[in-house]
Amino acid sequence: MLKDLHYMIVDDEPLAIDVIENYLQRLETAHITRCGNAVEAFQLLQKKVIDCIFLDIEMPLLSGLDLLKSLKEPPAIIITTAYRDYAVEGFELEVTDYLVKPISFPRFMKALEKIAKTSRPQKEEEPPVSGKDHLFLKVDKKFIKVLITDILFIESLKDYVRVHTRDGAYITYQSLTEITDKLPTGNFARVHRSYTIALDKINGIDGNCVDIAGKLIPVSRENRPDVFRKLRK
């Protein structure tokens, strides 16, 4: 279970990142993102789904605690710091654990066991049945009804997709192929390995890209004939 999670290590000391990365690699963990400061981490968290962050506190520009306070729905947080002074504030922010450097491997594993307890899957809840005019997307721990006519385009994020709608974007755990297969083929088209679009939401065509809501989405060479064939109908 632990090796299937996506981890982020945020520290301004590369050697400190190396230690945590080495510990994670002993678990044969492939999903590791390194960040040299909290600003970079904040930007990546807008694009990537992370299950656990190993977070240093004292960093330039933005401290680890300030980063944590800025996240509306933070993932599991394990503080990694040389200072004990922030422990109370860290736990008030509901961090999973607080590790003081230098971090031994046995102590590291105790922190991960706490992650394992909170991430062990519960009995899978049956999703509501999607209909011809809507989908139910599991976002965080709840199901959200999304009208198919409101979908602008869908973006692949490896194991997840981001569904862009008129009202906002939703990240849900499924592949682009899986969600595309649930959509009416006459109205939607897979235009790229990373994108499926609503054909009626295209505002313009710019070279090898289509414009939807101000975003240029690439159309791959192999998908171009099918896309333009559908647009001519």
Average pLDDT over residues 214-220: 93
CATH of region 2-119: 3.40.50.2300
The backbone region for 207, taken as left when phi is positive above 0, alpha when psi lies in -120 to 50, beta otherwise, is left
122 confidence band (pLDDT: 50, 70, 90): very low
**String of DSSP letters for 207-230:** TTEEEETTEEEE--TTTHHHHHHH
pLDDT at 123 over 60: no
pLDDT at 84 over 90: no
Is 94 in a helix, a strand, or coil? Answer: coil
| Arch. (CATH architecture) of 134-232 | Beta Barrel (2.40)
Q: Where are the domains of the chain?
A: 2-119, 134-232
Cβ atoms of 173 and 158 within 8 Å: the answer is no
pLDDT at 120 over 50: no
pTM score of the predicted model: 0.54
Cβ atoms of 164 and 137 within 8 Å: the answer is no
Averaged confidence pLDDT in the chain: 88
Say whether 134-232 and 2-119 share the same fold: no
Query: How far lies 160's CA from each of 23, 138, 139, 163, 228, in Å?
Result: 26, 11, 11, 10, 27
